[in-house]
């Protein structure tokens, strides 16, 4: 995986980010290194031959978990003496392994000093992200006869990196060296094994017995093959679409994450490099996006989030009974409660979305037993919405952090500090209620009502939920409608004043079904209109708003994930053509990223830049961007579970040609869907 | 007055059933070490049904910590998952059980929970 000039390989929460030579020289602002459990285990990893740095001729990222680098001594700026070549092959899978091979192409024998500098700062990922590495504990390095041990100790908290080689090496505190004699055309190689340890007293590892995939390349390879074989096949005349799907499928495999102490089941982590951990919101939304293609992720995600559902009031962690977690971390700052992520619960939308996912999953899979298994958790989630999230007491879902030190200010998906403003640009006071969350709450109640009636044997509860949902819908359509703009406000302040800006959030309202039918057309027009739609996708904030900025994180950029839910929403209200316009724009954009959609890209008009401008520090691959093409495909094909079978109602742009999706799993067994592009987008624009 | 640790386990035993553990089955033993002395608390869980004893019997999960730290956990002054990440509490065997039982500890005594606006104004 390539990003800028760094090479990334990963497996679960272990990943290595290096330069294109394979070297790692981390600086506070350079997030390279080998990371595991939210801790950097290697911050220096530099290979030299006879004291000389190596120059990259090329590299291959073979699979997400392995890469290969071809190198020669000397720097690129002057003549390269290609009498020697060096190949580094590396993989992650539990531990990190690297094989170094040196080939002598000369007609003379050579004597070489091969050295790897190795070191670690054991920085917590939060410290790397915030560029502050200020360790309170003690770093140590011990060179033993057959290994180098790098470590960090703070009280009982201990993390160690242990490096050993298949050949005899001379280890010192800053690395290890080999003396190599090579005859003409001879080659030499060694395997280097880097193990990470998260140790408690008595040397017991935190991860004992919970390594998910095992450590071997073969196991990883087989796992990936099985993953791909189990997913539907997408054949398309439109080559880039098939490529985007394939890329998404593999990236989704790479992003699977197995939380500690939960028995090895996997859920989608949020994204590389900062978010290789479980997130309530990101994991749930990704599961919703990929349900027709990888339904198994939903089951494990629901179970894991249920098993960590809040049970008490904890102001530091913003935990309440019934609340679904926001983020879990395993590093030093979480351990010592310098950060609240053990886990942190400060998310306003994960709880209603948990209920939404369970219902949607059952509609596809027919897995009634999971709906019964998680009844208690659903009821607790719905109770949280009513009892603990209504901070103003007027029937809406609000948020305001209680941890004012390290908690999150904005607990909706647009979580940057300046994302929620009035039309004049002023930010709203707290508590805040954003519109899309009211939609999620409405949808959660409607869906829970179905589950209560069909599976929980509680029609009275179902009636109550439907009544409450209807009241919420009525209230919402009265209080949030911005008359002079003909759209729903982004948010409300505690006095009931509207944040009267035009934002992408209105698209989520369609998805949730909270929009009055007579208003849906207005909303659809806005979504594909010139203020929101750039030609590539829907901007987070409309052009013309005071805070609009085409590269403002939540104030003008385009998020593929956001667009995928908007398209789904348009489809729900019968705007199939508008949905296809958005799907087409985002899938077009994916071509410029080699099929891998970034977290966000610039909101510039399509005609202006001709290509989508990637947001500078965006995470990639990111789970919900990876899931976006799958949801867009679902939307364009109009595939929907309907009375026990899968209905297909395609609405496809002409340029997409013929698409077939084979073996869509579900309660119907496996079925195929076929579609042909018949929709002329040019006609639509006129 | 008994300490928070004893109260925590006795209360659990008295209740006999805990809905939060309805998906859990297994035995978990807490070994609280202080010098040469170790106090054992054994919790047997069968789909939510609970019985507590002080037997030093084999268990699916064994948790080791100090009586001082456990007292703080039982009183809500410390957090179980953070203590495990820190290495102040160690777990062997099936880690899922400890994650589930940890949820039974109370929240911090100073935590107020969410306050509605009018409640805040009234304070």
Say yes or no to pLDDT of A685 above 90. Answer: no
Say yes or no to pLDDT of B19 above 70. Answer: yes
Q: How far is CA A428 from CA A392, A420, A495, in A?
A: 14, 6, 10
* Cβ neighbours for A519, distance < 8 A, ≥ 6 positions apart: A477, A481, A486
- The pLDDT tens digits for A17-65 are 999 999 999 976 678 999 998 999 999 999 999 999 999 988 887 788 9
All structural domains of chain B with their residue ranges? 4-109
Say yes or no to pLDDT of A686 above 50. Answer: no
Q: From the list B20, B23, B111, which residue is nearest A313 (CB)?
A: B111
Contacts of A330 in chain B (CB under 8 A): 85
The Cα A682–Cα A686 span in angstroms is 7
- The pLDDT tens digits for A527-576 are 999 999 999 999 999 999 999 999 999 999 999 999 999 999 999 999 99
Say yes or no to pLDDT of A209 above 50. Answer: no
CB B103 within 8 A of CB B76: no
Q: How far is CA B57 from CA A14, A267, A490, B28, B63, in A?
A: 37, 35, 58, 10, 13
Using DSSP's 3-state secondary structure scheme, residue B99 falls into helix
- Residue B83: what pLDDT? 96
Q: Are strands A658-666 and A645-647 parallel, antiparallel or unpaired?
A: unpaired
In this predicted structure, which of A126-130, A147-151, A667-671, B10-14 has the lowest mean pLDDT? Answer: A126-130
Say yes or no to pLDDT of A3 above 60. Answer: no
- CB-based contact B107 A392, cutoff 8 Å: no
Distance from CA of B107 to the nearest CA of A (A): 5
Contacts of A307 in chain B (CB under 8 A): 23, 96, 99-100
Quick one: tokens of A52?
Answer: 């000389």
Contacts of B108 in chain A (CB under 8 A): 314-316
Say yes or no to pLDDT of B4 above 80. Answer: yes
- Residue A4: what pLDDT? 59
Say yes or no to pLDDT of A325 above 80. Answer: yes
CB A509 within 8 A of CB A491: no
- Residue A210: what pLDDT? 44
Please state, rounded to an integer, the average pLDDT across all residues of chain A: 92
Contacts of A157 in chain B (CB under 8 A): 85-87
At residue A214 the predicted structure's pLDDT band, cuts being 50, 70 and 90, is: very low
* Cβ neighbours for A129, distance < 8 A, ≥ 6 positions apart: A31, A274
- The pLDDT tens digits for A586-600 are 999 999 999 999 999
- CB-based contact A157 B106, cutoff 8 Å: no
| Nearest-by-CA chain B residue for A373 | B23
At residue A1 the predicted structure's pLDDT band, cuts being 50, 70 and 90, is: low
- CB-based contact A393 B118, cutoff 8 Å: yes
The Cα B15–Cα A630 span in angstroms is 48
Q: How many CB pairs under 8 A join A and B?
A: 111
Owner of token pair 């995939």: A213
- Residue A347: what pLDDT? 98
> Cα angle vertex A621, ends A222, A67, to 5°?
50
What phi, psi does A307 have (nearest 5°)? Answer: -70, -15
In this predicted structure, which of A434-438, A518-522, B95-99 has the lowest mean pLDDT? Answer: B95-99
> Between B58 and B123, where is the model more confident?
B58
Q: From the list A335, A376, A392, which residue is nearest B116 (CB)?
A: A392
CB burial class (10 A; 0-12, 13-18, 19+) of residue A454? middle
The DSSP output letter for A8 is: E
In this predicted structure, which of A72-81, A216-225, A233-242, A341-350 has the lowest mean pLDDT? Answer: A72-81
CB A543 within 8 A of CB A530: yes
- Residue A614: what pLDDT? 82
- The pLDDT tens digits for A608-664 are 988 898 887 656 789 999 999 999 999 999 999 998 899 999 999 988 889 999 999
At residue A262 the predicted structure's pLDDT band, cuts being 50, 70 and 90, is: low
Cis (ω within 30 of 0) for the bond into A431?
yes
Share of chain A above pLDDT 70, in %: 94
- Residue A263: what pLDDT? 61
Give the residue among A117, A115, A127, A122 at the shortest CA–CA distance from A138. A122
The DSSP output letter for A123 is: -
Share of chain B above pLDDT 70, in %: 95
CB B61 within 8 A of CB B29: yes
**Distance between terminal CA atoms of chain A?**
41
* Cβ neighbours for A413, distance < 8 A, ≥ 6 positions apart: A281, A349, A436, A562
The Cα A129–Cα A139 span in angstroms is 20
The Cα A479–Cα A281 span in angstroms is 26
Quick one: tokens of A202?
Answer: 């008595």
**Distance between terminal CA atoms of chain B?**
32
DSSP class per residue in A393-415: SSSS--B--S-TTTS-S--SS--
- Residue A213: what pLDDT? 42
Quick one: tokens of A44?
Answer: 């220096």
Quick one: tokens of A681?
Answer: 């987008």
Query: How many Å separate Cα A389 from the centre of its chain?
Result: 26
For the segment A461-477, the average pLDDT, to the nearest whole number, is 98
Q: How far is CA A141 from CA A21, A119, A122, A206, B75, in A?
A: 25, 8, 12, 21, 39
| Nearest-by-CA chain B residue for A199 | B87
- Residue A261: what pLDDT? 54
- CB-based contact B20 A311, cutoff 8 Å: yes
All structural domains of chain A, each given as residue ranges with its CATH number in brackets, are 2-203 (2.70.98.40), 231-685 (1.50.10.10)
CB B104 within 8 A of CB B12: yes
The Cα B41–Cα B32 span in angstroms is 8
CB A416 within 8 A of CB A557: no
Mutation target vs A (from B23, B28, B85; most A CBs, 10 A cutoff): B85
CB A33 within 8 A of CB A111: no
Say yes or no to pLDDT of A276 above 80. Answer: no
Distance from CA of B108 to the nearest CA of A (A): 6
Please identify, in words, the CATH class of the domain defined by B4-109. alpha beta
Cis (ω within 30 of 0) for the bond into A343?
yes
């Amino acid at each position: 995986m390539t990003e800028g000039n760094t090479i990334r390989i990963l497996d679960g929460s272990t990943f290595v980010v290096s330069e294109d030579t394979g070297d790692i020289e981390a600086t506070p602002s350079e997030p390279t290194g080998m990371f595991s459990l939210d801790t950097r285990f290697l911050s220096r990893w530099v290979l030299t031959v006879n004291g000389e740095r190596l120059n990259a001729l090329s590299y291959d990222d073979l699979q997400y978990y392995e890469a290969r680098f071809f190198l020669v001594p000397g720097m690129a700026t002057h003549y390269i003496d290609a009498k020697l070549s060096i190949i580094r092959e590396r993989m992650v899978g539990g531990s990190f392994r690297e094989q170094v091979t040196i080939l002598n192409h000369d007609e003379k024998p050579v004597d070489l000093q091969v050295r790897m500098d190795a070191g670690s700062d054991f920085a917590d990922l939060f410290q790397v992200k915030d560029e502050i590495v200020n360790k309170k504990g003690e770093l140590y390095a011990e060179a033993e006869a057959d290994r180098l041990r790098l470590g960090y100790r703070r009280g009982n908290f201990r993390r160690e990196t242990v490096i050993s080689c298949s050949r005899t090496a001379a280890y010192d505190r800053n690395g290890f060296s080999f003396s190599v004699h090579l005859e003409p055309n001879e080659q030499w190689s060694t395997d280097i094994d880097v193990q990470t340890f998260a140790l408690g007293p008595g040397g017991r590892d935190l991860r004992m017995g919970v390594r998910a995939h095992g450590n071997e390349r073969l196991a990883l390879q087989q796992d990936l093959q099985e993953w791909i074989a189990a997913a539907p096949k997408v054949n398309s005349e439109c080559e880039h679409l098939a490529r985007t799907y394939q890329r998404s499928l593999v990236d989704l495999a790479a992003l699977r994450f197995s939380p500690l102490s939960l028995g090895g089941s996997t859920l989608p982590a949020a994204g590389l490099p900062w978010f290789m951990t479980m997130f309530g919101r990101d994991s749930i939304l990704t599961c919703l996006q990929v349900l027709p293609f990888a339904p198994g992720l939903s089951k494990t995600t629901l179970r894991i989030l249920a098993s960590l559902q809040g049970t008490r009031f904890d102001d530091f962690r913003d935990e309440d009974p019934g609340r679904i977690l926001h983020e879990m971390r395993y590093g030093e700052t979480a351990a010592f409660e310098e950060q609240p992520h053990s886990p942190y619960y400060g998310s306003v939308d994960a709880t209603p979305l948990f209920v939404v996912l369970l219902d949607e999953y059952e509609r596809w899979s027919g897995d009634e037993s999971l709906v019964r298994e998680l009844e208690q958790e659903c009821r607790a989630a719905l109770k949280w919405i009513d009892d603990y999230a209504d901070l103003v007491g007027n029937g809406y879902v609000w948020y305001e952090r209680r941890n004012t030190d390290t908690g999150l200010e904005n607990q909706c998906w647009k979580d940057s500090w300046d994302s929620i403003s009035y039309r004049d640009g002023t930010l709203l006071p707290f508590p805040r209620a954003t519109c899309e969350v009211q939609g999620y709450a409405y949808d959660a109640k409607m869906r829970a009502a179905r589950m209560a009636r069909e599976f929980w044997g509680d029609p009275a509860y179902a009636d109550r939920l439907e009544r409450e949902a209807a009241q919420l819908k009525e209230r919402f359509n009265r209080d949030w409608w911005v008359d002079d703009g003909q759209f729903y406000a982004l948010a409300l302040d505690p006095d009931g004043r509207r944040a009267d800006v035009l934002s992408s959030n209105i698209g989520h309202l369609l998805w949730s079904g909270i929009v009055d039918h007579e208003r849906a057309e207005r909303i659809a027009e806005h979504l594909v209109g010139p203020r929101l739609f750039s030609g590539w996708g829907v901007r987070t904030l409309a052009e013309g708003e005071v805070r609009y900025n085409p590269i403002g994180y939540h104030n003008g950029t385009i998020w593929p994930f956001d667009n995928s839910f908007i398209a789904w929403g348009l489809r729900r209200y019968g705007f199939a053509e508008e949905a296809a316009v958005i799907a087409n724009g985002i899938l077009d954009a994916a071509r410029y990223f080699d099929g891998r959609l970034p977290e966000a890209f610039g909101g510039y008009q399509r005609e202006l830049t001709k290509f989508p401008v990637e947001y500078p520090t965006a995470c990639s691959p990111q789970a919900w961007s990876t899931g976006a093409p799958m949801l867009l495909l679902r939307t364009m094909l109009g595939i929907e579970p309907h009375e026990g079978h899968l209905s297909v109602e395609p609405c496809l742009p002409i340029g997409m040609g013929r698409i077939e999706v084979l073996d869509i799993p579900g309660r119907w067994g496996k079925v195929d869907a076929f579609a042909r592009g018949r929709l002329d987008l040019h006609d639509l624009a006129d | 007055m008994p300490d928070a640790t004893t109260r925590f386990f006795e209360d659990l035993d008295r209740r006999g059933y805990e809905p939060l553990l309805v998906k859990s089955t297994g035995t978990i033993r807490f070994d609280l070490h202080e010098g040469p002395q170790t106090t054992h608390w054994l919790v047997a869980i069968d789909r939510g049904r609970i019985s507590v004893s002080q037997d030093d019997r084999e268990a699916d999960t064994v948790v080791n910590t100090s009586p001082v730290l456990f007292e703080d956990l039982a009183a809500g002054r410390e957090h179980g998952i953070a203590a495990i990440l820190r290495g102040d509490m160690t777990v062997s065997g099936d880690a899922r059980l400890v994650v589930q039982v940890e949820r039974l500890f109370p929240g911090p005594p100073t935590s107020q929970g969410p306050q509605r606006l009018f409640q805040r104004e009234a304070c």
